[in-house]
């Protein structure tokens, strides 16, 4: 049982108790980056099962040791678009579920002054030969990078796009759905809010998810 909860239209939180225990370890500031990376892959695997629950299949005969019966094979061609760099931390977990998926990373970073997305790398084919795309990024904060990546994928002719991340903020969810109301969002947690602009030295930077995980990229790669 996936324990998938629709917390608002087209926003699903995987509330399975094992997912939540792993997420708790990821939140812990004392969790080493190697363990953080392994946990991210495990949660990504669970999220992939949830996000692909309506994937298209076709019937085919299969011979068991005892009889011939009817089985299924995947009909959808699936693509993964991880947003560099942190999105790479989810790829292996999703590929464990759909190992034949194609992977096209895109480089989008958030300008720390304007909080606007800046695309610095993309090599998507002019027409992506897939029927379903999962955009991967651990943190859905302001939503700018996610919305930009989704726009890129749609511009290449993909009609079915979903977002898969670890933790989101309401602000990010609202922004993505203001740009792409048809895109389903799958998370392990929908957190409370984003940090405001700093008022004094020592305040956290603006646009970080609270309580969140911190900087997921730094924690994944030990930087």
Q: Choose among 140, 80, 151, 89: nearest CA to 110.
A: 140
Give the pLDDT of residue 89: 97
Rounded CA separation 48/115 (Å): 28
What is the pLDDT at residue 205? 83
**pLDDT, position 111:** 76
H helix runs in 86-194, sequence order? 88-95, 144-155, 170-179
pLDDT for 1-32, tens place per residue?
578 999 999 999 999 999 999 999 999 999 99
Cα 146 to the chain's mean position, in Å? 9
Q: What is the pLDDT of residue 42?
A: 98
pLDDT digits 0-9 by tens, 84-120: 999 999 999 999 999 999 999 999 987 777 767 889 9
pLDDT of the residue at 204:
80
Q: Are 128 and 156 in contact (CB under 8 A)?
A: yes
CA dist 8 and 18 (Å) reads 22
pLDDT, tens digit (0-9, with 9 covering 90-100), for 62-81: 999 999 999 999 999 999 99
CB contact at 8 A, 176 and 183: yes
pLDDT, mean over the chain: 94
Looking at residue 63, its pLDDT comes to: 97
What span, in angstroms and rounded, lies between the C-alpha atoms of 203 and 210? Answer: 13
- As a residue count, the chain comes to 223
Options 3.30.1240.10, 3.40.50.2020, 3.40.50.300, 3.40.50.150; CATH for 4-54+74-221 is 3.40.50.2020
The residues annotated as belonging to the active site are 110, 114, 215, 218
DSSP 30-78: T--HHHHHHHHHHHHHHHHHHHTTT--EEEEEEE-SS-EEEEEEE-S-E
Quick: pLDDT tens for 180-220.
999 999 999 999 999 988 888 878 888 899 999 999 999 99
Give the pLDDT of residue 98. 97
Residue 115: the pLDDT is: 67
pTM for the complete prediction?
0.94
User: pLDDT (tens digit, 9 = 90+) per residue, 158-185?
Assistant: 999 999 999 999 999 999 999 999 999 9
Q: Where are the domains of the chain?
A: 4-54+74-221
């Amino acid at each position: 049982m996936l324990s998938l909860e629709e917390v608002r239209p087209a926003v699903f939180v995987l509330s399975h108790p094992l997912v939540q225990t792993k997420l708790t370890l990821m939140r812990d500031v004392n969790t080493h980056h190697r363990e953080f990376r392994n946990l991210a892959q495990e949660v990504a695997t669970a999220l992939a099962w949830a996000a692909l629950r309506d994937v298209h299949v076709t019937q085919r005969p299969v011979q068991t040791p005892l009889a011939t019966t009817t089985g299924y094979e995947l009909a959808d061609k699936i693509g993964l678009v991880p947003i560099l760099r942190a999105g790479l931390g989810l790829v292996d977990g999703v590929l464990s579920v759909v190992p034949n998926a194609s992977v096209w990373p895109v480089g989008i970073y958030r300008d720390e002054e304007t909080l606007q997305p800046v695309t610095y790398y993309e090599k998507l084919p002019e027409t992506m030969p897939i029927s379903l795309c999962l955009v991967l990024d651990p943190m859905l904060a302001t939503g700018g990078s996610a919305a930009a990546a989704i726009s890129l994928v749609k511009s290449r002719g993909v009609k079915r796009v979903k977002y898969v991340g670890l933790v989101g903020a309401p602000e990010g969810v609202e922004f993505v759905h203001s740009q792409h109301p048809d895109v389903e969002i799958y998370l392990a947690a929908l957190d409370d809010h984003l940090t405001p602009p700093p008022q004094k030295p020592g305040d956290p930077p603006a646009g970080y998810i609270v309580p969140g995980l911190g900087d997921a990229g730094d924690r994944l790669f030990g930087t």
